[in-house]
Structure 1
Amino acid sequence: MTDSRYMLVVSHTGRRESRDAAAMVVTRLVAAGVTPVLLEVERDDLLAACGDFGGGVQMLDGMDPALLELVIVLGGDGTILRAAEIVRGSSVPILGVNLGHVGFLAEAERDDLDETLRRVLLRDYEVEERMTIDVNVLVDSTVVYTSWALNEATIEKASRERMLEVVVEINDRPLSSFGCDGVVLSTPTGSTAYAFSGGGPVVWPNIDAILLVPLAAHALFARPLVVAPTSSVAVELLRRTDGSGILFCDGRRTHNLPPGARVEVTGSDTPVRLARLQRGVFTDRLVRKFDLPVTGWRGRAGA
């Protein structure tokens, strides 16, 4: 690592709280001799929030992301997913400060921002890798769209009044066909997001797997599935109906799916790296984020 330190600051500039927090982070980084890196689209909003940065700011445009030491994200999970998209393909870790609601991907809360910055400047954090998935869309055996997801790839019906007719394939073998509102293809990270809302299981993030969760399926065998990360999972829109669909990757990248389209999902070789300030176990995160009742728990004696 060079003597110069660069940290990308990404915020939800549509919210005053997020702009103010980002301005505070930028000011602190400049004071500590670290060069804050901003997105061009956010620069003017942050300048308006905190005034002159003293010339110590750099824009990400044209900069090699490999020079970044860390991405500091101020917002909710949606903003963290946007940051993951921005630095996709690099090894830079992402540290989220939750200014949203649940903020499952975030590591810190707004009230902890001072301590978070202190530890960031000392490089006092660990890095955890999260599995992602690669997504391909094929029409007439031709790949017409490629993407990826940290949380999930979701196939949804394009028309409210017409359900999708799909057939599910696992490792090149057909499993079942059914009508539905959609299908969620999720990572363990996404198991607490859309897949969870659709009735899927919570999967601990240290387990690599691909989840398949049908949405409002009209079938006897249309239960959530968990398969190996090395599996190939495909969902085909049957041609026997004129129902079309839409693919959403992390709710950010979309592609229209005509009848007969095929969506293939496999485990990706490119993980997302999250900076962690504490070693807290995932169980504790679940309890804290979902405010789960644990009153009366005693635990193992002597543990």
Structure 2
Amino acid sequence: MNRIISLALFLVAGSFLARAQNPIIKHIFTADPAPIVYKDTVFLFTGHDTASVSATNYKMPDWHVFSSTDLVNWRDYGAVLAPKVFSWATGDAYAAQCIERDGKFYWYVSTFHKKDANSGGGAAIGVAVADHPAGPYKDAIGKALITNEMTTDMKYGWDDIDPTILIDDDGQAYLFWGNGSCKWVKLKSNMIEKEGEITTFTPKNYIEGPWVYKRKDLYYLIYASKGTKPEMIEYCTAKSATGPWTYQGIIQDNVPNSFTTHPGILDYKGKSYFFYHNGALPTGGSYRRSICIDEMHYNADGTIQKIIQTATGVAVK
């Protein structure tokens, strides 16, 4: 009888584990999710946390790319890009986002700039380019696209981080980024040159990690907020990529075991998905984070329903 009970408990536990998809990547620590769809496959661009369990700061040596056709089983292409690829860069591989245009993949990354003739240091945004989402990538312009000297509203050196990219229906590309305030600038069609001046604004409770996209007739600006600590995710909407932006509220509460969270949003096979990170893996934490996915739902007026964080995540179809 005891053997039968033990077997039943084992099967129940095994069934639970099979359904527990979140976090979706379990063999390494990943952060700052940035998903895209290319040829019916989801490609997920991530940071890579390698800090020790006792660390009190980030250690992020490179960026990884994963792919999936069911959002459950993921192929890891490995460390596809690192700050050392950029001759001007130093430091860690912070949040980044990739987008496809005309058969090329442009990966906008945040790291730090060396002190040299072109910069006094501080956070900077570079762009790498490849012919396939998984690379190989190279520095697209041989210099930073955004340097700390280009923005002066924040009186510290780490505000130019967390790029997000939108190509509007008319083909105009917009780059958004920023810690403490949100900045945006138009890009030329080659995706590697700024067009016009940088605009700075501060949505309600904004702190960092913007994600910008368009759905139907609405533009969405999703971001990590400073309303409380740890971070939550809040958002604004607009009728134009340049605003004005209307604050809409909180869509994700604090995540387990991490004081940061970071949004990535994707429509795939008729459903909407919300990507984020937490510290839920064994030995995980604020500097050892892991990416999760949960379904995302909109109201009839386009507003976003509260994200329900789950351990089950996306079920196998």
Q: Which has the higher helix share?
A: 1
Structure showing greater radius of gyration is 1
Does TM, normalized by the shorter one, top 0.5? no
Smaller-chain TM-score range?
Answer: under 0.3
Q: What is the TM-score normalised by the length of structure 2? A: 0.24
